[in-house]
Amino acid sequence: MSEQLKPRSEVSDQLKWDLSAIFATEEDFEKALKEFPDQVNVFVSEYKGNLKSAEDVVEALHKYEEVIAMASYLGQYASLPVSVDITDGEAASRARSVSSKLSQESAKLSFYDSEVLTLSETELDKVKNLEPKFNAWVRQTKKSKEAALAPEVEETLELLNPVLGSFQEIYEQARSNDPDFGTFEVEGKEYPLSFVLYEDYYMYHTDPKVRRASYDKFNEVLGQYKNTVATAYYSQVVKEKTLATMRGYDSVIDYLLESQEVTREMYDRQIDVIMEKFAPVMRKYITHLKEQNGLDQVTYADLKIDVDPDFKQDITIEETKDLVQKALAPFGQEYVDTIMRSYDEQWVDFARNIGKRSGAFCSTTYKKHPYIMMSFSGLLSDAYTLFHELGHAGQGIYSHKENSLTGARPSLYLIEAPSTFHELFLTDYLKDRTDDPREERAALSMMISKTYFHNFVTHLLEAAYQREVYRLIDQGESFDANKLSEIKRSVLEEFWGDAVEIEPGAELTWMRQSHYYMGLYPYTYSAGLTIATQAFLKIKNGDSSMEDWIDFLLLGGQEAPLEATKVANVDVGTDQALLDTIEYLDESVDRIIELSSELDA
């Protein structure tokens, strides 16, 4: 793999996504953007002050969904190009301009929520009787009644949204655009470095000298921006705390959980049980990796090493097509055909280029196909990333088939279940297609290091750190960059114990993730994977069916998490699903160790 990144303009169009499914041409986009205020004004003139009954609400909701669908198309078309090239000043300027225009129009629409919140619960219940597909909207609206502010305040907040939502963009600029990571040298050879190159390539490098040298240089440059990033993050959490207080919540955590329809007990349980019960399993696993790699000590820079670094598992984009068709075959041909459209229709931006943000995401588009951003470097781990994001895509498409726009999105607590479910089937296929113990070990190790490490460790430790930050804010305290580093180091040391050396630079991990600007998102990765694991095991054991899972995808946001998971035959009302998942992982680690013993004999 070439380590040198190219400018976006020099990357093949075949590696880029095709946004024409949203708007066929730039002219179509400009025309829709110009006409959107008129669409909003027509809706306002027709319904403002006229939402007196359930019948009025149902009629208006159909048109309201058309308006907000167009707003989402305009927003996506303008913002997605910035995700793949933050150095494109023209695209960034247009994205900010469109965001500002959409906020102005959204402020005009705020009357809708304010007026429907004045209706009685009896009248709101009539809405779902008249139009069952609005059930999710009714449930969420009823929950919002107590926290609603005066209409003029809600309108003002919508107008301020470009400012109140700007802290993530400030972070992205400080992370992806401003830093020059330069190069680092190992044994006389110079290597180029960037945020994406470290996160997607050097962090997994098989040469410990290259891996550790890149880590040191990466953190040296990253640390130069810690005060800017800490200030942006402080502004974000103060904003959230202020909104929580305005809406009558004593705790910002409770405020952020409300929209997820999740209890504080479910949130705390997910973090506390994994910190206590799963940490020993991961310490056992990482100690085994140390032994297999002949290391005296595992440092934080070594966490993503492979159990068998000499076992090459490269893959091309073309080869991922075969994996998708075979690994996802249990989902049924209709589902596989749906996912395979992603290649011909160019849903995925595979390119590796200068200015592309790190990580990966899937942006679903109502009644149109989704868009996936990732950086494909030719490693099997990229196939896991692709499967993960295609899981989000499948859920989005299936939910949109059955639900109205306001009822299509599941709770954030559920959002990572379909993505991680995909990963489990990829591992299952890789494991079952071989009788070679080395390949079986590699598949199980990839499951631990990619699927579970990413979701049960990396994001879970983000969640534990994030909870401590919010506790500070709830107590009326403040923080700076050094305080954030202190919290992060404490969380890492608690989880890893003596198994990993938390060397200087590890504490800056809080600077590497944008999830902190998305509310209580990090803990939901482990919640989703718990649901996915239990559904996967039940299907493998014959206690559930793939049809149950498809029904779960079709459900969208029709049910709150406790009821929604039951459709997939999973109970998240207690800690049992989580404990069973940890037991499965413990057994998997033991199997890896057993296979290593066979291979070393």
Asked if residue 315 has pLDDT above 80, the reply is yes
> What mean pLDDT, rounded, does the chain reach?
94
How many CA atoms, within 13 angstroms, populate the side-chain half-sphere of residue 217?
A: 24
Distance CA 418, CA 387 (A): 10
Q: Which residue has the tokens 């994030």?
A: 466
Mean pLDDT of 94-101: 94
Nearest-angstrom CA–CA distance, 500 and 98: 46
Q: Which distant-in-sequence residues (6+ apart) come within 8 Å of 156 by Cβ?
A: 107
Measured CA to CA, the distance from residue 208 to residue 201 in angstroms comes to 13
Mean pLDDT of 401-423: 95
Handedness of CA 236, 242, 246, 249 (dihedral sign): positive
Mean pLDDT, range 433-459, rounded to an integer: 91
Question: Distance (Å, rounded) from C-alpha 1 to C-alpha 594?
Answer: 33
Token pair in block for residue 106: 């959204």
* Strand pairing class (371-373; 361-363): antiparallel
**pLDDT tens digits for 50-90?**
999 999 999 999 999 999 999 999 999 999 999 999 899 99
Q: What pLDDT shows up at residue 601?
A: 78
Helices (runs of H) and strands (runs of E) counted in the chain = 25, 5
Q: What is the pLDDT of residue 149?
A: 86
pLDDT per position as a tens digit, 507-550: 999 999 888 999 999 999 999 999 999 999 999 999 999 999 99
Instruction: Specify burial of residue 43 (Cβ count, 10 A radius: 0-12, 13-18, 19+).
Output: buried
pLDDT of 3: 64
pLDDT per residue over 188-197, tens digit each?
Answer: 999 999 888 8
Strand positions, DSSP E, 7-136 = none
Confidence band of 313 (pLDDT split at 50, 70, 90): confident
587 CB burial (10 A radius; 0-12, 13-18, 19+):
exposed
Whether the per-residue pLDDT at 2 is higher than 60: the answer is no
What angle separates helix 576-600 from helix 264-273, to the nearest 10 degrees? 20
pLDDT at site 414: 96
Query: CA 597 to CA 459: how far, in whole Å?
Result: 31
CA distance linking residue 233 with residue 167, whole number of Å: 7
- E strand or H helix at 185, and its extent? strand 183-186
pLDDT recorded at residue 252: 97
Instruction: DSSP for 244-271, please give it.
Output: HHHTT-S-HHHHHHHTTT--HHHHHHHH
Give the start-end residues of each E strand in 127-167. Answer: none
Most trustworthy range by pLDDT among 2-11, 135-144, 386-395, 514-523: 386-395
Task: Tell the residue number behind the tokens 């301009």, with chain if given.
Answer: 97
| Higher-scoring residue by pLDDT: 559, 146 | 559
pLDDT digits (tens, 9 = 90+) for 155-209: 898 888 888 889 998 998 888 788 999 999 999 999 999 888 898 889 988 899 9
* Residue among 320, 323, 347, 325 at smallest CA distance from 336: 325
Per residue in 20-58, pLDDT tens?
Answer: 999 999 999 999 999 999 999 999 999 999 999 999 999
